[in-house]
Amino acid sequence: MNIMLMLLVVPLITAFLTMAILKHQKTVWTIFLAVSGYLSYALFTMYGKWDLSWSIELGFKMFGKNVVLSLINSPLGWFFAFFASLTTLLIAMFSIAYNDEKHDSKTAPIWLLLIFSNIGIFFAKDWLMFFIMWEAMSTTAYFIIAHGKEISAKAAKFYLSISLIGTSTLLLGIILVSRLSQTFDIGVSIDSLVKLFSTNYSAALLYIGLFITTFLIKSAIFPFYMWPSKAYAESPDDFTPFLSTVMSKYGVYGLILFILPILAKSDLPMFGKISQPAYMLAVLGAITSVLATILAIFQTDMKKLFAYSSVANVGYIVMGLATMSVVGIQGALFHSVNHMIFKTAIFLSLAAVIYRTGERDMHKLGGLVYKMPLTFLVYLLAIISAAGIPPLSGFTSKWLIVQALMAQKMLFVVVAMIFASTGAFMYLLRCLASVFLGQLPDKYKDIKEAPLLMAIPMTILMLLTLAIGVIPGIITKPIDAVLTGMGYNVEPSSWTTVHTALAKSDLNLTYLFYVFMVACVISLIMYLISGKQEKIDQIDNYTAGENPLEWDTTPDRFNFAYGFYQPFKQMFNPMLDLISFERWMSSFGRIVERASSALSLLYTRSEGAILMLYIGIAILIIGGMM
């Protein structure tokens, strides 16, 4: 059987299979792990085979041709699909341990459907396939986010209502573009839109505007940056990494697949070194990352905090893409992978914390390093990577994006980027300080380290981020293929060095790691030759000479975690009112929600109804086309 088809069929079949044995949770999740393992392996073997494809002719005609649903193994799609399935594999391993009696979310079958649509999106060759998979992805994600909890269902509805806008603009866009290009093929539609740009500028802008809206909504770029804070926070803890790292990339993938080639090939009015629409995109990315960073700094719920952090990171990626330069796109793709790795590591370690403590508010936790040192270490390396600190992977991609922005003289965008990444430091450290460091509250005196099955994927992620940081070639080599596939002329990248457009600014990361290690050794020697240290109890602290217990100051009451950046926040209070789109977004969302809840009643009763929905939507769309 065609391997492309296998990629789709395996998750689909197992999805229905696992539905039948939903009661045996461990088995279900093990099957899930096996499927993701298979997918990762299959995708790995597919590297370099860029001629793989699969198509099926549907029995009716449009635009004078037979309508075809087709898949193709493009380097870009492979790049995203491979790293997505790798992430899924690691999450799956985590999920086996996570979904015990207490934390069971029973979402494995739907998740498999989601993976099915995930593969479909990344390998779709025509708009029809793309749309079906896109719609399937949006809907299945809704069910996983809802996962049978009252509050989650609310967040999921919010997510669904926002997604509905996205899918409807996508549908409209597809209809318009297909009409224009007389085919559903994506490649052809790019060329026809490029042509349209030279004849009717504003119409073309409207066409790509529809697509951009869809992609921005999916990636939660300004002005749609609000929904992740709800959806990510309320979804199952083991699903959040997938939602945050893989699903936020669909929009990015869409932008690279469709928007970038159009902007690159068209003759557009320029602003400085780059075209105006691209600059607009960069500005949107900049606004997103700045706002999301500011909002993340003030969160008390750790999952919400990292939801905003994800939004900010996607903002960086969009900024990198908008430079339209090789270095920028390289950086953006690199950062997409990095974001998958470090954000998965972060969310998994937080899931481990939630698994052990059942608490999501940062200020109610503290001092967990005493009990969960490995989780702490994973989280630490992940945030070092997320903050873009060398020698870990996050640095390389951020550095590439910054270099690209500077080379293109996008001055204020790059300042926004630096603001966001310094701000990232603030919120990342806040979570570190509040959750893992500080005083361990009495009620967590006897919690344990995360179970082995959780520890393994976390450790792998930790090593992965270090490996990529030291040897960037692991990622830059596949990126070369992607860029070549997109029509850029690139020199083959080296294993150790990353290049930029600026003069004399290349960076050898392996050397950097080496230098840093030598510095570490010097520092360690200084530490070792100096006097001995004695370990003391956590409450044995400077308390101005007072005995804290005489003042009823237990460790619970000796931990500064709430209102961590309160003085800073007061500076922003007037502004927070303004940027809190949440109010109008939620009022808007509520209207859609009401409409959708009437609809959703039909199929929330049983999971099997999803299939009905699929078929119904497919018929609807195709019927609309006729």
Check binding of 557 to another protein (CB under 8 A).
Answer: yes
**Read out DSSP for 414-474?**
HHHHHHHHHHHHHHHHHHIIIIISSPPPGGGTT--PPPHHHHHHHHHHHHHHHHHHH-THH
Fill in the per-residue mask, 194 to 233: x = in contact with another protein (CB under 8 A), - = not in contact: -----------------------------------x----
Handedness of CA 70, 72, 76, 78 (dihedral sign): positive
Check binding of 162 to another protein (CB under 8 A).
Answer: no
Task: For residues 316 and 331, give the distance between their C-alpha atoms in angstroms, rounded to a whole number.
Answer: 9
125 versus 335: smaller Cβ distance to another protein: 335
Least distance in Å: CB of 14 to another protein?
A: 39
Per-residue CA distances from 388 to 252, 265, 283, 423 (Å): 20, 32, 21, 11
Amino acid 195 reads K
Check binding of 573 to another protein (CB under 8 A).
Answer: yes
CB atoms within 10 A of CB 4: 21
8 versus 295: smaller Cβ distance to another protein: 295
Residue 224, classed as helix, strand or coil, is coil
Check binding of 568 to another protein (CB under 8 A).
Answer: yes
Check binding of 104 to another protein (CB under 8 A).
Answer: no
Task: For residues 188 and 193, give the distance between their C-alpha atoms in angstroms, rounded to a whole number.
Answer: 9
- Total binding residues for another protein by CB under 8 A? 106
213 versus 434: smaller Cβ distance to another protein: 434
Q: Provide the CA 617 distance to its chain's centre, in angstroms.
A: 27
Least distance in Å: CB of 389 to another protein?
A: 5
Q: Which residues from 508-547 bind another protein, rule CB under 8 A?
A: 508, 511-512, 515-516, 518-520, 522-524, 526-527, 529-536, 538-547
**Window of 36-44, 382-390, 469-477, 587-595 that interacts with another protein by CB under 8 A:** 382-390
Check binding of 587 to another protein (CB under 8 A).
Answer: no
Q: Which residues from 1-30 bind another protein, rule CB under 8 A?
A: none
Q: Which residues from 281-310 bind another protein, rule CB under 8 A?
A: 295, 298-300
Check binding of 382 to another protein (CB under 8 A).
Answer: no
Residue of 558, 588, 603, 614 interacting with another protein (CB under 8 A): 558
Q: Provide the CA 568 distance to its chain's centre, in angstroms.
A: 28
92 versus 381: smaller Cβ distance to another protein: 381
CB atoms within 10 A of CB 586: 16
Task: For residues 206 and 224, give the distance between their C-alpha atoms in angstroms, rounded to a whole number.
Answer: 18
Least distance in Å: CB of 533 to another protein?
A: 5
Check binding of 574 to another protein (CB under 8 A).
Answer: no
Handedness of CA 302, 304, 310, 315 (dihedral sign): negative
Q: Which residues from 60-99 bind another protein, rule CB under 8 A?
A: none
Check binding of 598 to another protein (CB under 8 A).
Answer: no
Q: Which residues from 345-364 bind another protein, rule CB under 8 A?
A: 361, 363-364
Task: For residues 499 and 378, give the distance between their C-alpha atoms in angstroms, rounded to a whole number.
Answer: 29
27 versus 523: smaller Cβ distance to another protein: 523
Check binding of 367 to another protein (CB under 8 A).
Answer: yes
Cα angle, residue 247 at apex, residues 204 and 183 outer, rounded to 5°: 35
Least distance in Å: CB of 365 to another protein?
A: 9
**Window of 81-89, 145-153, 259-267, 550-558 that interacts with another protein by CB under 8 A:** 550-558
Using only C-alpha atoms, the chain has a radius of gyration, in whole angstroms, of 24
Q: Which residues from 387-426 bind another protein, rule CB under 8 A?
A: 387-390, 395, 398-399, 402-403, 406, 409, 411, 414-415, 418-419, 422-423, 425-426
Check binding of 38 to another protein (CB under 8 A).
Answer: no
Check binding of 459 to another protein (CB under 8 A).
Answer: no
Task: For residues 307 and 569, give the distance between their C-alpha atoms in angstroms, rounded to a whole number.
Answer: 19
Least distance in Å: CB of 281 to another protein?
A: 21
**Length of the chain in terms of residues written:** 626
Least distance in Å: CB of 457 to another protein?
A: 23
Fill in the per-residue mask, 239 to 278: x = in contact with another protein (CB under 8 A), - = not in contact: ----------------------------------------
Least distance in Å: CB of 445 to another protein?
A: 14
Is 447 within 8 Å of 360 (Cβ atoms)?
no
254 versus 441: smaller Cβ distance to another protein: 441
Q: Which residues from 490-509 bind another protein, rule CB under 8 A?
A: 500, 502-508
Check binding of 380 to another protein (CB under 8 A).
Answer: yes
71 versus 432: smaller Cβ distance to another protein: 432
Fill in the per-residue mask, 431 to 450: x = in contact with another protein (CB under 8 A), - = not in contact: -xx---xxx-x---------
Q: How many CA atoms lie within 13 A of 84 on its CB side?
A: 27
Task: For residues 220 and 224, give the distance between their C-alpha atoms in angstroms, rounded to a whole number.
Answer: 5
60 versus 412: smaller Cβ distance to another protein: 412
Check binding of 101 to another protein (CB under 8 A).
Answer: no
Is 341 within 8 Å of 468 (Cβ atoms)?
yes
Check binding of 617 to another protein (CB under 8 A).
Answer: no
Cα angle, residue 329 at apex, residues 75 and 72 outer, rounded to 5°: 20
Task: For residues 247 and 610, give the distance between their C-alpha atoms in angstroms, rounded to a whole number.
Answer: 19
Query: Ramachandran region of residue 367, left (φ > 0), alpha (ψ -120 to 50) or beta?
Result: left
**Segment 241-244 long-range contacts (CB within 8 Å, at least 24 positions apart):** 241/87, 241/91, 241/343, 241/344, 241/347, 241/348, 241/351, 242/87, 242/88, 242/91, 242/111, 242/114, 243/141, 243/144, 243/145, 244/306, 244/307, 244/310, 244/343, 244/347
Instruction: Write a three-state SS string for 466-477.
Output: HHHHHCCHHHHH
Least distance in Å: CB of 396 to another protein?
A: 10
